[in-house]
Amino acid sequence: MRKRGDNMQKFYFSVLLASAYLLSSCAEGRSIPRRLAKKPKGTVKTLKANNGDIIDCVDIYKQPAFDHPLMKNHTLQTTPSRRKYGAQRNNLMLDSLFDISWRKNGGCPEGSIPIVRSVLSDRPIIRKNVSFFDPASYNQGHQYAVIFFNYEQASLQGGRATISQWDPSLAQTADFSLSQIWITGGQSGTTNLQTIEAGWQKYPQRTGVNGPTFFVYWTANGYNGEGCYDLTCPGWVLTSNQYSPGMTLKSSAYGGQQIELAMDIKRDQSTGNWWLYLWGTPIGYWPPSIYNGGVLTSGADTLSWGGEILDSSGSDGFHTMTQMGSGHFPSEGNTKASYVRNIVYIDDSGNENGISQNQLYPTAPAPNCYSYQFQQDNSNQVYFFYGGPGCS
C-alpha cells in the first residue's frame, strides 16, 4: 500500500488558463460584446438566448469530438449502460440552473446537440502548471480552497458532489473564479498527468459572459497541448440536446435561495466512457480513447473538490479582491458561504461510498483571503464550506 505522505505530493495538478478576446467592460448578468467564431460544421439550426449567447444545433455525429484522431472509429454511446445512477433524475431542477431562454422557439431538433458559439481570442491560450500546496508565487496567481481524497486500494471509477452556485466579483476582467470536481490520475509535473474536470466558472475573458457558466475540461498529457474547455477542441462527447457546457448558470442569493449543481461522474463498466450526470441526467462523456492508454483509460487515483481563483494582477493572489465562492468566509455558514456536500466516491467495483471528514485532506494556502471549514448537518452529512472575499 502506498504511503499517505507520498500520495499528498502526487496530487499536485495543473489548470488551463484560457485567454479570450474582450472588447468592453462588463454589464452585470448580461452577455458582453465579443467576437464570435463561425458556426460549427453540421449546424442545422441556430438559436439565441436572452443574454446574447448564440446556440448552434449541430448534428450529433458531426460534433467536434469526432475530429480527434483517436476517435475515428469511436461508436457513439447515446445513453449510459446503467440507466439509473447517482442523484435522482430531475429535469425541472436542472432547468432551474440554466438560462434556457434559447429554447423558446422549440430548441434543438432530435438528432442534434446544442453548442454555445465560441468566443474568438486574439491572444494564445496560456497553460501553466500549478499546485494546491506550493506557494502562490509558484502557482503564478492561483489560489485554492480545496479538499482531496486519495483511494489507495485500487482505481477510482468516479465521484459525486453537490456544489452551490454563485456569481463572485472579479477584480480584473482577466481573472476567474470557479468551483469544480477534479478526477485525476498520473504524476503531477509530467506528461503522465491526466484529468477529468467539471463545475461552474466565472471567466468573462474566456466566455464573453459576465456571469457563471457550466464547464467541462480535460487534459491527457499534463496540460501540454492535449485537452481543452468544453467543446472548443475534439475530445469530450455531448449527448444531451438540452444542456451543454458553456451555457450560463443562475446563482444563489446571499442569505436566500441556494442554487445547487449536483454532479456525478462515473466510468461506464461496459464502454469505459466517463459519463457526466447533472441532477441525475446524463449529459455526455469523456471517452477513454482520448487518454491514449494512460491512467484514466481504466481508472483514477484522486478526487478533489473546491474553489479556485486566478489573480491576473501579478500579486500572486495575496492582494486581490477577486472573490472565491460566494465571496464570504466559511464561518458565515449555510446560505451565506459557498459549500460542497454529498461527497461520494465510486470504488473499483462500481459501488458508491460516502466519505468521512477524516478521509479528506483540505488545503487553503492563503487563509486570510480564502479559507475552509467543515460542518455537519443533522443527518451527519459533511459540508465543506470554502471561499472568501480576497485580500486588499
Distances (CA, A) of 93 to 212, 253, 280, 365: 17, 17, 10, 35
| Contact in structure between 61 and 67 (CB atoms under 8 Å) | no
SS3 70: helix
Which of 28, 260, 308, 332 does the annotation list as catalytic? 308
* Cβ neighbour number for residue 175 with a 10 Å cutoff: 25
SS3 65: helix
In this structure, the strands spanning 112-116 and 15-17 are: unpaired
Torsion of CA 113, 119, 121, 124, to 10 degrees: -40
Which of 110, 152, 197, 226 does the annotation list as catalytic? 197
- Give one DSSP letter per residue of 290-308, joined into a string: GGTTSGGGT-BSEEEEEEE
- The one-letter amino acid code at 366 reads A
Distances (CA, A) of 113 to 110, 206, 230: 8, 22, 13
Catalytic (active site) residue 197: yes
Q: Which residues are catalytically annotated?
A: 197, 308
